[in-house]
Chain A
Amino acid sequence: MTDTFINIILLSMLTVTALAIVRMDRLFAVVMLSGVFSLLSALLFVTLDAVDVAFTEAAVGAGISTVLLLGTIALTKPVEKRPRHTALIPFIVVCVTGAALVYGTLDMPAFGDPNAPAQLHVGSDYLARTPDDIDIPNVVTAILGSYRGYDTLGETAVVFTAGIGVLLLLSGLRRRREDEEEEDQA
């Protein structure tokens, strides 16, 4: 019961933060609030027993992503223009999507149900086999590295590719080389 109480408080704080982000038009404040959002969601991940996820979210969401967003604002503009169109059509679209999603959750097992289909198959199998197969306490690391090593290799490759993409878009290697050639000629 205490868990539920804490969850509801955290979720209402998250909702208030998200609504504040909708209303703000100073982008600096928006970025700071998105950092607050990430930290609050990290707290929620802890109450959901996902400590590794909480750790990652706190480091990535509140650290790196805030730095990158601030860097982007420094390269662009700090104030948002008010949209010229009416907010009615987006609101209707969002309401319809939300209603469809809520309809989808009606079939789901209750929150925290130990007999839910998600708990019965592969997850509990990993929990049972890890002490004998790999013998390390953190099951998340065991699955990440060993049982699902292919996935992790793929994710690492995706991160690498995204880094290459940013370098191609932003680093301006060719322009710098041309500048150096001009200096050499001069």
Chain B
Amino acid sequence: MSQFLNFQFLAGHAHYLLFILLMMTGLFIVVDKTNLVKKIVGLNIFQVSVFMFYVSIGKVNGGTAPIFPMDAKYHVDKEAMIGVAYSNPLPHVLILTAIVVGIATTSLGLALIVRIRESFDTIDEEDILSIELQMTYDDNRKYGDAMGGLS
């Protein structure tokens, strides 16, 4: 345990702890809140925190953004690159596309919420569940005998 409590270890892992704190805030909104729009916002917070965590893996201390210098003929200037550290570009690529896919799926979720509101006249999860329970109960009373005497 003592190996985890020295300053060097904590300084190297403080970022990860804060990312996880943000992730858990988003997860709490998704689990606790019953309003569907707020759930989507919480999901976005969770998603962005995961992106930050993922991009932080590619960070190199003293590195710079992975864009090379150019020479006068618009080619990569290989002589100016010597001795410069660049951060890992691969996580950037994966997260770049993930953000755009994320907004596309978010809009799909919002569209579903709009349709749910048109059917149930509420966007509160608990209300929707009680309405569905009532509908099932009514169906059982109406058709229960024909389906095998559930009433």
Q: Chain A: residues with CB nearer than 8 A to chain B?
A: 4, 7-8, 11-12, 14-15, 18-19, 21-22, 27, 30-31, 34, 37-38, 41, 44-45, 48-53, 56-57, 60-61, 64-65, 68-69, 71-73, 75-77, 80-81, 83-85, 87, 90-91, 93-95, 97-98, 101-102, 105-106, 108-114, 116, 118-119, 122-124, 126-127, 130-131, 135-140, 143-144, 148, 151-152, 155, 158-159, 162-163, 165-166, 169-170
For B41, give the chain A residue with the smallest CB separation: A34
Bound-state Cα–Cα, A12 to B61, Å = 21
Bound-state Cα–Cα, A77 to B37, Å = 9
A residues in contact with B107, CB < 8 Å? 68, 162, 166
B25: interface (CB < 8 Å) = yes
How many inter-chain residue pairs (CB < 8 Å) link A and B? 287
B residues in contact with A162, CB < 8 Å? 101, 104-105, 107-108
Q: Across the interface, do B117 and A118 meet the contact criterion of CB distance under 8 Å?
A: no
Q: Across the interface, do B13 and A22 meet the contact criterion of CB distance under 8 Å?
A: no
A76's partner among B27, B31, B95, B123 (CB-CB below 8 A) is B123
- Which secondary structure characterizes the binding site on chain A? helix
Show 21 A/B contacts (Cβ-Cβ < 8 Å), sorted by A.
A4-B11, A15-B25, A18-B26, A45-B55, A49-B58, A50-B87, A52-B92, A61-B44, A69-B110, A76-B123, A105-B17, A110-B13, A113-B12, A127-B66, A127-B86, A138-B67, A148-B93, A151-B97, A159-B101, A169-B111, A170-B111
Nearest-CB distance from A64 to chain B (Å)? 6
Q: Chain B: residues with CB nearer than 8 A to chain A?
A: 4, 8-9, 11-29, 31-35, 37-38, 40-42, 44-45, 48, 51-52, 55-70, 75-76, 78, 81, 85-108, 110-115, 117, 122-124, 126-127
A84's partner among B16, B98, B126 (CB-CB below 8 A) is B126
B52's partner among A15, A45, A140 (CB-CB below 8 A) is A45
B76's partner among A45, A49, A137 (CB-CB below 8 A) is A137
Given contacts A111-B12, A123-B88, A131-B78, contact A155 B26 (CB under 8 A): no
